[in-house]
Chains A and B, each alone.
Chain A
Amino acid sequence: MLTLDGISYRYAGARRASLRDVSLELRDGEVLGLVGASEAGKTTLCLVASGLAPRAIGGQTVGRVLIDGTDVAAEPMHALAARVGIAFQSPTTQLSGVAATVYEEVAFGPTNLGLPRDEVIDRTARAIETLRITSLAARDPSRLSGGQMQLVAIAGLLAVGPPHFVLDEPTAQLDPAGTRLVADAVARLAADGASILIAEQKTDLLSGLCSRIVALDAGSVALSGDAAEVLADPRLRALGVAEPAVVRLARLARAAGIEPGRLTAEVSA
């Protein structure tokens, strides 16, 4: 379980805190969605949850981040890599830049850990298979589409073997086809038992993936609970988060005097 316990965080040189007294739990095998307007604190929360803030980027933190009961502050960064993996928005900056093939790119993490060669090969093969990118294995990673690159980046994290994943708007720079590829891959990761914290603006994607949703507003938790309930909460729009298409459709149907259940029945028919 990944736990944020009363976390407040302020970037170096910033006057205001970007996160304020945030507490949440990412349970084992759970997909937890994180929504909020731009600058609500989603990326900051992802950095703190993965242990990169404040250690890699500076700043000040109050509170604790625990992974399976251990405070991340007590662990060196390289050890943390095997416990929580983080993917960012930009697919290009997540590539190592030194691998000639997708296979080598995915293997980059396990080789860094100094694992036996056979285990590196095994992990790499499994990650490639899980993300269904076998057809890309021999390709130059820098020549892939954005969606394919993001899959390679996630496969690279998976090969390191962390049980927890933090995905910071992994589809933000992708077209609909790339978004679909990544959404399917995240669903497969979740089905494999990984626990995933995913920050997203695209609530349609979250509605099919997450069991719970946390909405941030100005660095604080504004809404939290069951995914269907939070995504249907009318307060979500006031937080700058677009409701999923199904919720919008139901709202418009009600406003037009049509029972949403009837729409579903007619579409099914």
Chain B
Amino acid sequence: MAVGGVVGPALLVAVAVILPAMSAGVLGRLLRTTLLLSLPIAISALLINVFFFPGGHTVLLRLGPITATAEGLAFAIQILTRILAISGAITLFYLTTDPRTLTIDLERRGVSPRVAFVANSSIQTVPAMLERANAITAAQRARGLDTEGSFLRRVRGIVPIVGPTILGSIAEVEERTMSLEARGFTRPGRRTLLWAPPDSGSQRLARWLLVLSVPLLIVMRAAGWLG
């Protein structure tokens, strides 16, 4: 059975996801979150490829009119390792990186304060939006809106909640923009940074090793050393 393209992603997961997660003490949460995130797409990718892979001819199993093939299974494993590599990396980022620290560091490294602000405020806005949506849901329920029961009732209940949530947020944007103007936000040039996130020598070394491993992996893949 061919497992071409599995070694590279597996190696990446081990070196760039599992090891850092262990070192940060978040391995358990990482595994749980990654599996939760990738399970639905992993199951559908597995079933579709195992049973419907177009180039499959080595039959492993017959279930009525459909057949599971070894080529389909190999391709599904390849896809699964990629899904795990991507969702694992995203989860690791989410579990170990404080958005504010990230944007401050990006700004320190020359990213425009506006870009950093937009990135940071977008992340910070999510809890505020949820809080607003909860308040609006409670207010609409108090006025008799039915948000429980059948699927259709729930769908009908969404509009009176989503509408005010989004419109209210849009209405706030103008005042927020003016407040930012009043505090010199539109001034061109760099802002003063009050603090810099800690960055140890070992972290810098690990980052450089990861960056250097990218061309190395590309070369190894092109040379066929990764299967």
With A81-B184, A107-B194 in contact, do A93 and B124 touch (Cβ < 8 Å)? no
Q: Which residues of the partner chain A approach B187 to less than 8 Å between Cβ atoms?
A: 78-79, 81, 112-114
Interface of B is mostly: helix
Contact of A117 among B103, B125, B185, B194 (CB under 8 A): B194
Total A-B contacts with CB atoms under 8 angstroms apart: 100
A114 close to B192 (CB less than 8 A): yes
B191 close to A112 (CB less than 8 A): yes
Residues 88-135 (chain A) with a chain B CB within 8 angstroms: 88, 90, 92-94, 96-98, 100, 104, 107-117, 120-121
Chain A's interface size range is 35 or more
Contact of B172 among A93, A117, A153, A160 (CB under 8 A): A93
Smallest CB-CB separation from A94: which chain B residue?
B179
Contact of A93 among B103, B179, B181, B193 (CB under 8 A): B179
B124 close to A98 (CB less than 8 A): yes
Per-position 1/0 for B123-154, Cβ under 8 A of A: 01100100000000000000000000000000
B183 close to A114 (CB less than 8 A): no
B178 at the interface (CB under 8 A from A): yes
Taking the nearest CB of chain A, how far is it from the CB of B188, in angstroms?
Answer: 8
Per-position 1/0 for B153-196, Cβ under 8 A of A: 00000000000000000001011111111111111111111100
Taking the nearest CB of chain A, how far is it from the CB of B120, in angstroms?
Answer: 5
Taking the nearest CB of chain B, how far is it from the CB of A156, in angstroms?
Answer: 6
Residues 112-168 (chain A) with a chain B CB within 8 angstroms: 112-117, 120-121, 142, 153, 156-157, 160
With A111-B192, A114-B189, A120-B192 in contact, do A98 and B121 touch (Cβ < 8 Å)? yes
A109 close to B178 (CB less than 8 A): no
A222 at the interface (CB under 8 A from B): no
B221 at the interface (CB under 8 A from A): no
Contact of A157 among B172, B178, B182, B186 (CB under 8 A): B182
B194 close to A104 (CB less than 8 A): yes
B183 close to A81 (CB less than 8 A): yes
Residues 36-78 (chain A) with a chain B CB within 8 angstroms: 47, 50, 52, 56-57, 76-78
Contact of A114 among B124, B180, B191 (CB under 8 A): B191
Q: Which residues of the partner chain B approach A115 to less than 8 Å between Cβ atoms?
A: 192
CA distance A115 to B190 in the complex (A): 10
CA distance A115 to B183 in the complex (A): 13
Taking the nearest CB of chain B, how far is it from the CB of A42, in angstroms?
Answer: 15
A82 at the interface (CB under 8 A from B): yes
B176 close to A97 (CB less than 8 A): yes
With A90-B175, A114-B191 in contact, do A81 and B182 touch (Cβ < 8 Å)? yes
List of 7 A-B pairs having minimum Cβ-Cβ separation, nearest first: A78-B187, A109-B183, A81-B184, A112-B184, A93-B175, A111-B192, A98-B120
Known contacts A56-B177, A114-B187; 4 further A-B pairs (Cβ under 8 A)? A81-B183, A81-B187, A96-B180, A120-B194
29 A–B contacts from the bound complex (CB under 8 Å):
A47-B178, A52-B182, A56-B178, A77-B186, A78-B181, A79-B187, A81-B182, A85-B183, A88-B178, A93-B172, A93-B179, A94-B175, A96-B121, A96-B179, A97-B124, A97-B125, A98-B120, A98-B124, A104-B194, A108-B183, A109-B184, A113-B184, A114-B192, A116-B192, A142-B128, A153-B179, A160-B182, A160-B183, A160-B184
